């Protein structure tokens, strides 16, 4: 495919997302199935262009004076990918291009509308209704944080210490240009690719199939690390999902003690089993909801209950930019109800002297501090255990972990450690 056809395809996919409300992943899959002629480079180009458009569609639409999929896509090419107006015009006029540029488009490509004075949700690329929530959570850093959330994200890797160490892993990862990510000794990072480029294939590295490392955002790795000392402990990952944090906890345990993985969706646990085997985890028990009482017998006996709660994912918009446009006030309210319920259920398994770790990948205080405060009001037997982790400085005055793209260079994460003083069946 030539550039004009690729851009046309990205406009088509974005149009389908906006008119039919498909998630980006589904819309790209539908296009790929219909465009059998598209090669891997074509698909990477279209996907990269589409996601960059979704990251910044309000600000780019403002700059172009045209918020249509075509207008936004032209904005990406000019102001994110740094194409010249001449190159854009050439691609537009190709046989399978997206049609000749109008005089207005040519003018905006050369002289865009300034973002100075634009409303904060336009300049920051998010829905209007989120303004009060983001302002509350991010304060003076709100504009900088929203710009950071509109950038491409790096690919972070966690070295699996059950199979290797950081020094050996560094040599294995050198061909894909992974470097130490900082903060944690076993975290590596592949920088975000340039426009139209693809991230090197992590799965193609032979050490990956050996279980030497896992793809996991640095923020997620830090959130798992705040669980503290877990060697020899009884650990329950209450919302294990695909198992990313389960495996991080298992590695920290060094195959000592016992880790139980549970999730409300049995299908998600299938990945945990497969990934655990590849990682060499030998102390893992899967507790599937297919069973009538999968966690029976664990009440009041667990040292560390890890709760990676269902949330809006408002900290992951760099990777999933379409999610911010699909989020609604009703969905935020629903997530808060689910979070309260999950905390109630999970707390029953924490033993006296044990701790519960509450984690979300959200920036919003309504899903984070507010949920912890509401839980503590209902459960005076729990108190906040301030987070203290070597190298981690992103701790709030209340003792909670708060990671953000601008401040920490990670996805947005929140974590609170709650310690139980007594247990009454």
Give tens-digit pLDDT for 298-310: 999 999 999 999 9
Who's near 289: CB < 8 A, 6+ residues apart?
Answer: 262, 263, 264, 265, 266
Helix (H) or strand (E) holding 29: helix 24-34
> How many Å apart are CA 63 and CA 79, to the nearest integer?
9
Phi and psi torsions of 35, nearest 5°: -105, 70
Give me the sheet containing 187-190, strands edge to edge: 179-180, 187-190, 155-159, 213-215
User: What Rg value do the Cα atoms of the chain yield, rounded?
Assistant: 23
Identify any residues that bridge with 72 across adjacent strands, giving them in sequence order. none
**Average model confidence (pLDDT) across the chain:** 95
Longest CA span, the chain: 74
pTM: 0.95
Q: Angle, nearest 10°, between helix axes 329-347 and 369-378?
A: 40
Q: What phi and psi values does residue 240 have, to the nearest 5 degrees?
A: -70, -30
User: Would you state the torsion angle of the CA atoms of residues 377, 382, 384, 389, taken in this order, to the nearest 10 degrees?
Assistant: -150
Give me the helix-helix angle, 3-20 and 40-55, nearest 10°.
Answer: 50
What does the block give as tokens for 349? 């398994």
The answer to whether 263 is a known ligand-binding residue is yes
Task: Give the span between the Cα atoms of 227 and 216, in whole angstroms.
Answer: 17
Question: What is the rounded average pLDDT of the residues 376-396?
Answer: 95
| Predicted local distance difference test score (pLDDT) of residue 174 | 94
**Domains of the chain by range and CATH?**
3-118 (no CATH), 126-425 (3.40.50.150)
pLDDT value of residue 128: 98
Distance, in Å, from the CA atom of 416 to the CA atom of 387, rounded to the nearest integer, reads 7
Apex 122 CA angle, 118 and 125, nearest 5:
145
What residues are annotated to the active site?
A: 361
- Position 353 scores a pLDDT of 97
In DSSP terms, 270 is beta-bridged to none
DSSP 8-state symbol, 102:
P
For CA atoms 320, 341, 419, 354, give the dihedral sign. negative
DSSP assigned state of 81: S
Give the residue from 334, 336, 337, 358 showing the smallest Cα distance to 346.
358
Please answer whether residues 83 and 237 qualify as being in contact, where contact means their C-beta atoms are separated by less than 8 angstroms.
no
Contact 7, 91 (CB under 8 A): yes
Q: How many angstroms separate the CA atoms of 110 and 100, rounded?
A: 16
Given pLDDT bands bounded at 50, 70 and 90, which one contains residue 65? very high
Summarised one tens digit per residue, pLDDT across range 186-221 is 999 999 988 777 888 899 999 999 999 999 999 999
Q: Residue 308 annotated as binding?
A: yes
Question: 135 near 142, Cβ under 8 Å?
Answer: yes
Q: Is the pLDDT of residue 102 over 80?
A: yes
Q: What is the model's pLDDT at position 199? A: 83
Quick check: 324 and 127 in contact, CB under 8 A?
yes
Distance (Å, whole) CA 134 – CA 141: 10
Return the pLDDT at 40.
86
φ, ψ (nearest 5 deg) of residue 384: -75, 130
Model confidence pLDDT, tens digit, residues 314-370? 999 999 999 999 999 999 999 999 999 999 999 999 999 999 999 999 999 999 999
pLDDT 10s digits, 242-257: 899 999 999 999 999 9
DSSP H or E run through 418 = strand 413-420
| Proportion of the chain above pLDDT 70, given as a percent | 100
Residues 388-405: what's their mean pLDDT? 94
What contacts 24+ positions apart, CB below 8 Å, involve 363-366? 363/134, 363/137, 363/138, 363/145, 363/314, 363/315, 363/404, 363/412, 363/414, 364/133, 364/134, 364/137, 364/312, 364/314, 364/332, 365/133, 365/136, 365/137, 366/133, 366/332, 366/336
């Amino acid at each position: 495919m030539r550039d004009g056809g690729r851009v046309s395809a990205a406009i088509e996919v974005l149009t389908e997302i906006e008119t039919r409300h498909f998630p980006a992943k589904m819309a790209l899959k539908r296009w790929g199935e219909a465009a059998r002629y598209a090669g891997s480079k074509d698909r990477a180009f279209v996907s990269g262009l589409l996601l960059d458009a979704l990251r910044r569609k309000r600000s780019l639409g403002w700059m172009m004076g045209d918020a249509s999929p075509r207008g936004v896509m032209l904005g990406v090419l000019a102001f994110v990918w740094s194409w010249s107006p001449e190159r854009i015009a050439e691609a537009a006029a190709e046989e399978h291009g997206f049609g000749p540029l109008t005089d207005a488009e040519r003018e905006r490509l050369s002289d865009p509308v300034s973002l100075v004075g634009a409303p904060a949700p336009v300049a920051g690329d998010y829905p209007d209704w989120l303004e009060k929530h983001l302002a509350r959570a991010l304060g003076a850093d709100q504009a900088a944080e929203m710009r950071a959330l509109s950038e491409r994200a790096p690919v972070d890797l966690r070295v699996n210490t059950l199979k290797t160490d950081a020094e050996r892993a560094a040599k294995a990862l050198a061909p894909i240009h992974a470097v130490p990510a900082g903060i944690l000794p076993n975290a590596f990072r592949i920088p975000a690719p340039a426009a139209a480029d693809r991230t090197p294939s992590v799965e193609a590295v032979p050490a990956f199939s050996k279980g030497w490392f896992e793809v996991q955002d640095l923020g997620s790795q830090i959130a798992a690390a705040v669980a503290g000392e877990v060697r020899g402990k009884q650990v329950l990952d209450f919302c294990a999902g695909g198992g990313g944090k389960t495996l991080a906890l298992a590695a920290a345990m060094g195959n000592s003690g016992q880790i139980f993985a549970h999730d409300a969706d049995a299908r998600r646990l299938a990945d945990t089993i497969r990934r655990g085997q590849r990682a060499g985890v030998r102390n893992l028990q899967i507790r599937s909801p297919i069973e009538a009482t999968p966690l029976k017998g664990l009440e009041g006996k667990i040292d560390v209950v890890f709760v990676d709660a269902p949330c809006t994912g408002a900290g992951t918009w760099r990777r999933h930019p379409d999610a911010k446009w699909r989020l609604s006030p009703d969905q935020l309210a629903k997530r808060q109800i689910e979070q309260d319920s999950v905390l109630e259920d999970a707390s029953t398994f924490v033993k006296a002297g044990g701790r519960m770790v509450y984690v979300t990948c959200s920036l919003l205080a309504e899903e984070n501090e507010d949920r912890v405060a509401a839980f503590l009001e209902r459960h005076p037997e729990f108190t906040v255990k301030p987070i203290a982790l070597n190298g981690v400085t992103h701790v709030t005055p209340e003792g909670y972990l708060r990671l953000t793209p601008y401040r920490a260079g990670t996805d947005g994460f929140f974590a609170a450690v709650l310690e139980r003083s007594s247990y009454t069946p």
